[in-house]
Amino acid sequence: MPTIDEQIRLAAFDWLRDQTQIHDQVLSIELLRNGFVFENERIPLVAPQGIFKPRLMELPLSITTTPLSQYDDAFRQDEYLNYKYRGNNIYHRDNVGLRECMKRGIPLIYLLGLVPGKYLPVWPVYIIGDNPTGLSFTVAVDELNSIMKDEGKVKEPDGRKLYITTMVKVRLHQQAFREKVLYAYKSQYALCRLKHSELLDAAHIIPDGEPESKPTVDNGLSLCKLHHAAFDKYFIGITPDYKIEVRKDILEEFNGPMLQHGLKELNGSKIFVPSKNIEKPKSDFLDIRYQRFRNVS
């Protein structure tokens, strides 16, 4: 029969699965603090300290990072995740708890901070290495079914975990870019001031994957899904001084109220930009994209 520790751990994984289906991949600190109820007791998933063990549990349930300025810092050169000890005492009870999780092959939740109050949950993760000199643990992500398949086994590095952990790095960069852009734009839309974040996308000015592209806020725009698609397909362009232009052939079309109010009426207006200069769309990026728009037009 599963122990209380195992029951709570599996319940937490089920709860995370449900919440990420409802709220997408990124969860708020309020939701994580509220957690779920297990046998009439509330189980939060986070606490002020980074390594968290609920009162009913023997060993830690989650590890958390604060929002990271450079997300590559969370990854080692071998692409596994890096997690710092709590403090400098290698025998602190939280560090001892993670070491015990490593010995027993016990799965954890890793909550990666994106922006203040927003986290990307990754589970199950395993502690696969301990570096007392560097005051850090090595963390690998695995498949959810590994919990049953490899229960009780000490986790060792392997190709499967490395591949899955590398995919987490891709997800982290994608979600971090989105959250940083929406945070800078105060979760409103650069063109029509829509404030429902569920309908907002972080659009790259210079498309992701191109040599000039950067995963920074000044290469991003907060756009609704309609205008993101219109921007990507060059239905609309934005000048380096933030003026919106609608392609001439689109302006000449007559195809109902969506076209009229959704696109054509934007022509000649200016986009909303963040107040901080460092977060405003970079004019060089906008110029490169605008020249492409002109060529299509």
Lookup: tokens for 123: 């589970």
CB 138 within 8 A of CB 126: no
Which residues on adjacent β-strands are paired with residue 243?
270
Q: Among 131, 166, 181, give the residue marking a domain's end.
A: 181
Residue identified by tokens 């609608």 is 246
Q: Among 164, 181, 198, give the residue marking a domain's end.
A: 181
Whether 19 and 139 map to the same domain: the answer is yes
Angle value at C-alpha 276, between 271 and 282, nearest 5 degrees: 60
Whether 86 and 201 map to the same domain: the answer is no
Looking at residue 153, what is its pLDDT?
A: 52
Please give the Cα distance from 242 to 6 (Å, whole number). Answer: 54
Looking at residue 145, what is its pLDDT?
A: 65
Looking at residue 200, what is its pLDDT?
A: 86
Q: Among 166, 181, 196, give the residue marking a domain's end.
A: 181
Domain of residue 162, CATH code: 2.30.280
Which of 237, 235, 207, 236 lies closest to 220 in space, CA to CA?
A: 207
Looking at residue 98, what is its pLDDT?
A: 97
More confident residue, 186 or 107: 107
Whether 121 and 224 map to the same domain: the answer is no
Looking at residue 76, what is its pLDDT?
A: 74
* Ramachandran angles phi, psi of 70, nearest 5°: -120, 105
Whole-angstrom Cα Rg for the chain: 23
Which of 45, 22, 26, 23 lies closest to 34 in space, CA to CA?
A: 45
More confident residue, 137 or 263: 137
Which of 31-40, 60-69, 240-249 comes out lowest in average pLDDT?
60-69
Q: What is the pTM of this model?
A: 0.81
Whether 209 and 173 map to the same domain: the answer is no
Which sign, positive or negative, has the C-alpha torsion 245, 270, 114, 287? positive
Whether 21 and 122 map to the same domain: the answer is yes
Q: How confident is the model at residue 73 (pLDDT cuts 50, 70, 90)?
A: low
pLDDT tops 60 at residue 127: yes
Whether 157 and 44 map to the same domain: the answer is yes
Give the mean pLDDT of 208-227.
Answer: 91
Close Cβ partners of 150 (under 8 Å, ≥ 6 residues apart): 105
Q: How confident is the model at residue 155 (pLDDT cuts 50, 70, 90)?
A: low
Number of separate domains in the chain: 2
Whether 75 and 91 map to the same domain: the answer is yes
Lookup: tokens for 290: 């605008």
Looking at residue 209, what is its pLDDT?
A: 86
Give the mean pLDDT of 141-154.
Answer: 61
Give the mean pLDDT of 287-294.
Answer: 96
CB 202 within 8 A of CB 245: no
Looking at residue 165, what is its pLDDT?
A: 79
Looking at residue 187, what is its pLDDT?
A: 78
Rounded to a whole number of angstroms, the distance between the first and last alpha carbons of the chain is: 68
Please give the Cα distance from 164 to 166 (Å, whole number). Answer: 5
Whether 164 and 38 map to the same domain: the answer is yes
CB 196 within 8 A of CB 178: no
pLDDT tops 80 at residue 72: no
Looking at residue 158, what is its pLDDT?
A: 60
Whether 23 and 150 map to the same domain: the answer is yes
Whether 140 and 125 map to the same domain: the answer is yes
Whether 9 and 127 map to the same domain: the answer is yes
pLDDT tops 60 at residue 148: no
In this structure, which long-range contacts are made by residues 1-10, counting pairs with CB atoms below 8 Å and at least 24 apart in sequence?
A: 3/58, 4/56, 4/57, 5/57, 5/58, 5/59, 7/38, 8/38, 8/43, 8/54, 8/56, 8/57, 8/61, 9/57, 9/61, 9/106, 9/107, 10/147
CB half-sphere exposure, 44, CA atoms < 13 A: 17
Give the mean pLDDT of 59-81.
Answer: 78
pLDDT in tens, 242-268: 999 999 998 888 877 777 777 888 999
Please give the Cα distance from 27 to 19 (Å, whole number). Answer: 8
Give the range of the structural domain holding residue 285, as residue numbers without chain letter.
Answer: 188-296
Whether 142 and 289 map to the same domain: the answer is no
Within 25-107, strands assigned E span 27-28, 36-38, 41-43, 51-52, 62-64, 81-84
